[in-house]
Amino acid sequence: MFKGILITKDGAGYRAEVQQIDEAVLPDGDVTVRVEWSTLNYKDGLAITGKSPVVRRFPMIPGIDFAGTVTQSSHPDWQAGDKVVLNGWGVGETHCGGLAEVARVKGDWLVPLPKAFTTRQAMAIGTAGYTAMLCVLALEKHGIKPADGEILVTGANGGVGSVAIALLARLGYTVVASTGRPAEAEHLKALGAETLIERSELAAPGKPIGKERWAGVIDTVGSHTLANACATTKYRGAVAACGLAGGMDFPATVAPFILRGITLYGIDSVMAPRSVRQEAWERLARDLDIGKLNSVTREIGLAEAIQVGAELLDGKVRGRVVVNLAQ
Protein backbone atom coordinates (compact mmCIF):
# COMPACT_ATOMS: atom_id res chain seq x y z
CA MET A 1 0.00 0.00 0.00
CA PHE A 2 1.12 3.56 -0.67
CA LYS A 3 -0.39 7.03 -0.37
CA GLY A 4 -1.72 8.92 -3.35
CA ILE A 5 -4.65 10.65 -5.01
CA LEU A 6 -7.11 8.20 -6.54
CA ILE A 7 -9.83 9.27 -8.96
CA THR A 8 -12.90 7.08 -9.19
CA LYS A 9 -16.13 7.31 -11.16
CA ASP A 10 -19.21 5.26 -10.38
CA GLY A 11 -22.87 5.61 -9.56
CA ALA A 12 -22.00 7.97 -6.72
CA GLY A 13 -20.21 10.35 -9.11
CA TYR A 14 -16.68 11.53 -9.89
CA ARG A 15 -14.31 11.73 -6.91
CA ALA A 16 -10.65 12.52 -6.30
CA GLU A 17 -9.45 11.57 -2.81
CA VAL A 18 -6.14 11.14 -1.00
CA GLN A 19 -6.03 7.58 0.30
CA GLN A 20 -3.97 4.45 0.74
CA ILE A 21 -3.77 2.72 -2.63
CA ASP A 22 -3.19 -0.99 -3.24
CA GLU A 23 -0.25 -1.69 -5.55
CA ALA A 24 -2.61 -3.85 -7.63
CA VAL A 25 -4.06 -0.60 -9.00
CA LEU A 26 -0.78 0.13 -10.81
CA PRO A 27 -0.70 -0.86 -14.50
CA ASP A 28 1.95 -2.94 -16.17
CA GLY A 29 5.41 -1.45 -16.65
CA ASP A 30 9.04 -2.50 -16.56
CA VAL A 31 10.24 0.19 -14.15
CA THR A 32 8.96 1.04 -10.66
CA VAL A 33 9.81 4.44 -9.24
CA ARG A 34 9.63 5.87 -5.73
CA VAL A 35 8.15 9.26 -6.51
CA GLU A 36 9.76 12.08 -4.54
CA TRP A 37 8.18 15.13 -6.20
CA SER A 38 5.34 15.79 -8.60
CA THR A 39 3.68 18.98 -9.77
CA LEU A 40 0.35 20.44 -10.85
CA ASN A 41 -0.34 21.42 -14.46
CA TYR A 42 -3.54 22.68 -16.07
CA LYS A 43 -4.29 19.15 -17.27
CA ASP A 44 -3.90 17.85 -13.71
CA GLY A 45 -6.44 20.41 -12.54
CA LEU A 46 -8.87 19.17 -15.19
CA ALA A 47 -8.30 15.56 -14.14
CA ILE A 48 -8.70 16.20 -10.41
CA THR A 49 -11.86 18.29 -10.78
CA GLY A 50 -13.41 16.30 -13.62
CA LYS A 51 -14.18 19.52 -15.51
CA SER A 52 -12.92 17.94 -18.72
CA PRO A 53 -12.78 14.26 -19.74
CA VAL A 54 -9.01 14.04 -19.31
CA VAL A 55 -9.09 10.75 -17.40
CA ARG A 56 -9.81 7.87 -19.77
CA ARG A 57 -9.94 4.94 -17.36
CA PHE A 58 -10.80 4.39 -13.71
CA PRO A 59 -9.56 4.15 -11.06
CA MET A 60 -6.76 6.56 -11.97
CA ILE A 61 -3.86 8.22 -10.16
CA PRO A 62 -3.49 11.71 -11.69
CA GLY A 63 -0.24 13.57 -12.28
CA ILE A 64 1.36 13.93 -15.71
CA ASP A 65 4.83 14.54 -14.21
CA PHE A 66 7.05 12.99 -11.60
CA ALA A 67 10.67 12.77 -10.52
CA GLY A 68 12.13 10.14 -8.24
CA THR A 69 14.34 7.10 -7.80
CA VAL A 70 14.08 3.74 -9.56
CA THR A 71 13.41 0.91 -7.09
CA GLN A 72 12.91 -1.99 -9.54
CA SER A 73 13.66 -2.38 -13.24
CA SER A 74 13.68 -5.03 -15.94
CA HIS A 75 14.46 -2.37 -18.58
CA PRO A 76 18.06 -2.40 -19.86
CA ASP A 77 18.52 1.37 -19.50
CA TRP A 78 17.57 1.64 -15.83
CA GLN A 79 18.60 0.10 -12.56
CA ALA A 80 17.70 0.60 -8.91
CA GLY A 81 19.04 3.90 -7.61
CA ASP A 82 18.78 5.84 -10.90
CA LYS A 83 17.24 9.29 -10.67
CA VAL A 84 14.62 9.81 -13.37
CA VAL A 85 12.05 12.26 -14.72
CA LEU A 86 8.81 11.56 -16.56
CA ASN A 87 6.62 13.99 -18.51
CA GLY A 88 3.49 13.05 -20.45
CA TRP A 89 3.03 9.78 -22.36
CA GLY A 90 -0.61 9.67 -21.20
CA VAL A 91 0.45 9.25 -17.58
CA GLY A 92 -2.31 10.59 -15.33
CA GLU A 93 -4.84 10.06 -18.14
CA THR A 94 -4.69 6.47 -19.38
CA HIS A 95 -1.81 5.23 -17.19
CA CYS A 96 -1.51 5.85 -13.45
CA GLY A 97 0.55 8.96 -12.77
CA GLY A 98 2.78 10.85 -10.41
CA LEU A 99 0.54 12.15 -7.63
CA ALA A 100 1.33 9.13 -5.48
CA GLU A 101 4.32 7.69 -3.65
CA VAL A 102 4.86 4.92 -6.24
CA ALA A 103 4.63 4.79 -10.03
CA ARG A 104 5.10 1.90 -12.45
CA VAL A 105 5.80 2.88 -16.07
CA LYS A 106 7.55 1.87 -19.27
CA GLY A 107 11.26 2.54 -19.12
CA ASP A 108 11.19 4.07 -22.61
CA TRP A 109 9.15 6.95 -21.15
CA LEU A 110 11.83 8.01 -18.68
CA VAL A 111 14.75 10.40 -19.07
CA PRO A 112 17.67 10.73 -16.68
CA LEU A 113 17.49 13.53 -14.16
CA PRO A 114 20.08 16.13 -15.23
CA LYS A 115 22.88 16.43 -12.69
CA ALA A 116 22.19 20.18 -12.51
CA PHE A 117 18.80 19.59 -10.87
CA THR A 118 17.36 18.00 -7.76
CA THR A 119 14.12 16.06 -8.13
CA ARG A 120 12.30 19.04 -6.60
CA GLN A 121 13.81 21.44 -9.12
CA ALA A 122 12.93 19.08 -11.97
CA MET A 123 9.29 19.26 -10.91
CA ALA A 124 9.44 23.04 -10.54
CA ILE A 125 10.25 22.83 -14.25
CA GLY A 126 7.87 19.95 -15.01
CA THR A 127 5.91 19.57 -18.24
CA ALA A 128 5.38 23.33 -18.23
CA GLY A 129 9.10 24.11 -18.36
CA TYR A 130 9.90 21.21 -20.67
CA THR A 131 7.18 22.46 -23.06
CA ALA A 132 8.56 26.01 -22.83
CA MET A 133 11.98 24.66 -23.83
CA LEU A 134 10.45 22.81 -26.80
CA CYS A 135 8.93 26.12 -27.91
CA VAL A 136 12.25 27.95 -27.59
CA LEU A 137 13.98 25.19 -29.56
CA ALA A 138 11.38 25.55 -32.33
CA LEU A 139 12.06 29.28 -32.61
CA GLU A 140 15.82 28.73 -32.56
CA LYS A 141 15.70 26.03 -35.22
CA HIS A 142 13.61 28.38 -37.35
CA GLY A 143 16.60 30.71 -37.23
CA ILE A 144 15.18 33.46 -35.03
CA LYS A 145 17.95 35.35 -33.24
CA PRO A 146 17.78 37.98 -30.47
CA ALA A 147 18.66 40.70 -32.97
CA ASP A 148 15.56 39.89 -35.06
CA GLY A 149 13.19 41.63 -32.64
CA GLU A 150 10.64 41.08 -29.91
CA ILE A 151 9.33 37.68 -28.84
CA LEU A 152 5.74 37.58 -27.58
CA VAL A 153 4.83 35.17 -24.78
CA THR A 154 1.11 34.78 -24.09
CA GLY A 155 -0.35 33.44 -20.86
CA ALA A 156 2.76 34.86 -19.25
CA ASN A 157 1.79 34.16 -15.63
CA GLY A 158 1.22 30.47 -16.25
CA GLY A 159 3.80 27.74 -15.87
CA VAL A 160 4.82 27.58 -19.55
CA GLY A 161 4.83 31.36 -19.88
CA SER A 162 6.92 31.92 -16.76
CA VAL A 163 9.64 29.48 -17.80
CA ALA A 164 9.58 30.68 -21.41
CA ILE A 165 10.23 34.26 -20.29
CA ALA A 166 13.13 33.20 -18.07
CA LEU A 167 14.68 31.09 -20.84
CA LEU A 168 14.30 33.69 -23.58
CA ALA A 169 15.68 36.49 -21.41
CA ARG A 170 18.70 34.36 -20.41
CA LEU A 171 19.35 33.72 -24.13
CA GLY A 172 19.30 37.45 -24.89
CA TYR A 173 15.87 37.86 -26.48
CA THR A 174 13.62 40.87 -25.88
CA VAL A 175 10.45 39.46 -24.35
CA VAL A 176 6.97 40.99 -24.39
CA ALA A 177 4.63 39.31 -21.89
CA SER A 178 0.88 39.18 -22.45
CA THR A 179 -1.13 38.78 -19.24
CA GLY A 180 -4.55 39.36 -17.81
CA ARG A 181 -3.00 40.13 -14.43
CA PRO A 182 -1.26 43.52 -14.70
CA ALA A 183 -0.65 43.51 -10.94
CA GLU A 184 1.99 40.85 -11.67
CA ALA A 185 4.10 43.27 -13.73
CA GLU A 186 7.06 43.31 -11.35
CA HIS A 187 7.06 39.53 -11.10
CA LEU A 188 7.15 39.16 -14.90
CA LYS A 189 9.87 41.77 -15.26
CA ALA A 190 11.91 39.97 -12.62
CA LEU A 191 11.69 36.85 -14.78
CA GLY A 192 13.04 38.84 -17.72
CA ALA A 193 10.09 40.43 -19.55
CA GLU A 194 11.00 43.78 -21.08
CA THR A 195 7.42 44.94 -21.72
CA LEU A 196 3.89 43.90 -20.77
CA ILE A 197 0.68 44.09 -22.80
CA GLU A 198 -2.88 43.47 -21.62
CA ARG A 199 -4.35 40.11 -22.56
CA SER A 200 -7.39 41.97 -23.95
CA GLU A 201 -5.26 43.41 -26.76
CA LEU A 202 -5.07 39.94 -28.29
CA ALA A 203 -8.14 38.15 -26.95
CA ALA A 204 -10.85 39.79 -29.11
CA PRO A 205 -11.54 39.05 -32.80
CA GLY A 206 -8.97 40.90 -34.91
CA LYS A 207 -8.06 41.66 -38.50
CA PRO A 208 -6.84 38.88 -40.84
CA ILE A 209 -3.45 40.59 -40.93
CA GLY A 210 -2.07 43.42 -38.80
CA LYS A 211 1.03 45.51 -38.33
CA GLU A 212 4.20 43.42 -38.15
CA ARG A 213 5.62 43.32 -34.62
CA TRP A 214 6.86 39.92 -33.39
CA ALA A 215 9.93 38.09 -34.63
CA GLY A 216 8.51 35.05 -32.87
CA VAL A 217 5.72 34.00 -30.53
CA ILE A 218 5.22 31.38 -27.83
CA ASP A 219 1.46 30.97 -27.41
CA THR A 220 -0.20 29.03 -24.59
CA VAL A 221 -3.71 30.41 -25.12
CA GLY A 222 -5.06 29.49 -28.56
CA SER A 223 -8.29 30.89 -30.05
CA HIS A 224 -8.30 34.61 -30.97
CA THR A 225 -5.02 35.19 -29.13
CA LEU A 226 -3.20 32.76 -31.41
CA ALA A 227 -4.94 34.15 -34.50
CA ASN A 228 -3.94 37.72 -33.59
CA ALA A 229 -0.39 36.66 -32.77
CA CYS A 230 -0.05 35.09 -36.21
CA ALA A 231 -1.57 38.18 -37.85
CA THR A 232 1.06 40.46 -36.27
CA THR A 233 4.14 38.28 -36.68
CA LYS A 234 6.90 39.67 -38.91
CA TYR A 235 7.73 38.43 -42.38
CA ARG A 236 9.08 34.85 -42.22
CA GLY A 237 8.69 34.80 -38.44
CA ALA A 238 7.45 31.83 -36.42
CA VAL A 239 4.80 31.04 -33.84
CA ALA A 240 5.09 28.07 -31.46
CA ALA A 241 1.64 27.01 -30.24
CA CYS A 242 1.42 24.74 -27.21
CA GLY A 243 -1.80 25.52 -25.31
CA LEU A 244 -5.52 26.14 -25.38
CA ALA A 245 -6.29 28.00 -22.17
CA GLY A 246 -8.40 30.46 -24.19
CA GLY A 247 -10.05 27.87 -26.41
CA MET A 248 -9.36 25.09 -28.89
CA ASP A 249 -10.59 27.09 -31.87
CA PHE A 250 -8.31 28.94 -34.29
CA PRO A 251 -10.37 31.72 -35.94
CA ALA A 252 -7.69 32.83 -38.39
CA THR A 253 -7.15 33.22 -42.14
CA VAL A 254 -4.35 32.06 -44.40
CA ALA A 255 -3.23 35.68 -44.93
CA PRO A 256 -0.21 35.68 -42.54
CA PHE A 257 0.99 32.41 -44.03
CA ILE A 258 0.74 33.25 -47.73
CA LEU A 259 1.49 37.00 -47.54
CA ARG A 260 4.24 36.98 -44.91
CA GLY A 261 5.44 33.40 -45.05
CA ILE A 262 5.15 32.86 -41.31
CA THR A 263 5.39 29.37 -39.85
CA LEU A 264 3.12 27.92 -37.16
CA TYR A 265 4.80 25.18 -35.13
CA GLY A 266 2.64 22.79 -33.15
CA ILE A 267 4.41 21.83 -29.92
CA ASP A 268 3.51 18.40 -28.57
CA SER A 269 5.08 17.55 -25.24
CA VAL A 270 3.08 14.38 -24.51
CA MET A 271 4.32 12.00 -27.20
CA ALA A 272 7.60 13.68 -28.18
CA PRO A 273 10.32 11.08 -28.83
CA ARG A 274 12.93 10.40 -26.21
CA SER A 275 15.73 12.11 -28.15
CA VAL A 276 13.74 15.35 -28.26
CA ARG A 277 12.99 15.12 -24.53
CA GLN A 278 16.64 14.59 -23.66
CA GLU A 279 17.67 17.56 -25.80
CA ALA A 280 15.11 19.74 -24.04
CA TRP A 281 16.22 18.66 -20.56
CA GLU A 282 19.90 19.11 -21.44
CA ARG A 283 19.16 22.63 -22.64
CA LEU A 284 17.13 23.39 -19.52
CA ALA A 285 20.10 22.32 -17.41
CA ARG A 286 22.31 24.70 -19.41
CA ASP A 287 20.06 27.71 -20.03
CA LEU A 288 17.51 28.00 -17.23
CA ASP A 289 18.26 30.26 -14.28
CA ILE A 290 16.86 27.94 -11.64
CA GLY A 291 17.05 30.73 -9.07
CA LYS A 292 14.39 32.66 -10.99
CA LEU A 293 12.19 29.59 -11.07
CA ASN A 294 12.60 29.02 -7.33
CA SER A 295 11.18 32.48 -6.73
CA VAL A 296 7.91 31.56 -8.47
CA THR A 297 7.56 28.03 -7.10
CA ARG A 298 5.10 27.10 -4.36
CA GLU A 299 5.50 23.86 -2.41
CA ILE A 300 2.51 21.88 -1.17
CA GLY A 301 1.81 18.44 0.25
CA LEU A 302 -0.37 15.79 -1.33
CA ALA A 303 -3.31 16.69 0.91
CA GLU A 304 -3.42 20.21 -0.59
CA ALA A 305 -3.17 19.14 -4.22
CA ILE A 306 -6.90 18.62 -4.79
CA GLN A 307 -7.82 22.15 -3.68
CA VAL A 308 -4.90 23.76 -5.48
CA GLY A 309 -5.84 21.88 -8.66
CA ALA A 310 -9.19 23.65 -8.61
CA GLU A 311 -7.54 27.02 -7.93
CA LEU A 312 -5.26 26.49 -10.92
CA LEU A 313 -8.27 26.20 -13.25
CA ASP A 314 -9.68 29.42 -11.79
CA GLY A 315 -6.52 31.33 -12.68
CA LYS A 316 -5.56 31.83 -9.04
CA VAL A 317 -2.15 30.14 -9.26
CA ARG A 318 1.00 32.02 -10.28
CA GLY A 319 4.05 30.25 -11.62
CA ARG A 320 4.72 26.67 -10.57
CA VAL A 321 3.42 24.34 -7.86
CA VAL A 322 5.48 21.36 -6.68
CA VAL A 323 4.00 18.50 -4.68
CA ASN A 324 6.15 16.89 -1.98
CA LEU A 325 5.25 13.21 -1.81
CA ALA A 326 7.03 12.91 1.55
CA GLN A 327 4.40 15.15 3.21
pLDDT single digits (tens) 245-255:
899 999 999 99
List domains and CATH numbers for the chain: 2-113+296-324 (3.90.180.10), 127-266 (3.40.50.720)
* pTM tops 0.75: yes
CA proximity to 61, closest of 104, 31, 32: 104
Can you give the pLDDT at residue 319? 77
CA dihedral 250, 312, 163, 217 (to 10 degrees): 10
CA proximity to 157, closest of 87, 227, 221: 221
Question: 93: buried, middle or exposed (CB in 10 Å: 19+, 13-18, 0-12)?
Answer: buried
Can you give the pLDDT at residue 117? 97
Dihedrals φ, ψ of 148, to 5°? Answer: -75, -15
Can you give the pLDDT at residue 316? 82
Question: 218: buried, middle or exposed (CB in 10 Å: 19+, 13-18, 0-12)?
Answer: buried
Q: What angle do CA 199, 202, 203 make, to 5 degrees?
A: 75
Can you give the pLDDT at residue 245? 87
Predicted confidence (pLDDT) per residue in 178-231, tens digit: 998 888 899 899 999 999 999 999 999 999 999 999 999 999 999 999 999 999
Can you give the pLDDT at residue 52? 85
CA distance 136 to 131: 9
Residues of the chain scoring pLDDT < 70: none
C-beta separation of 223 from 246 below 8 A: yes
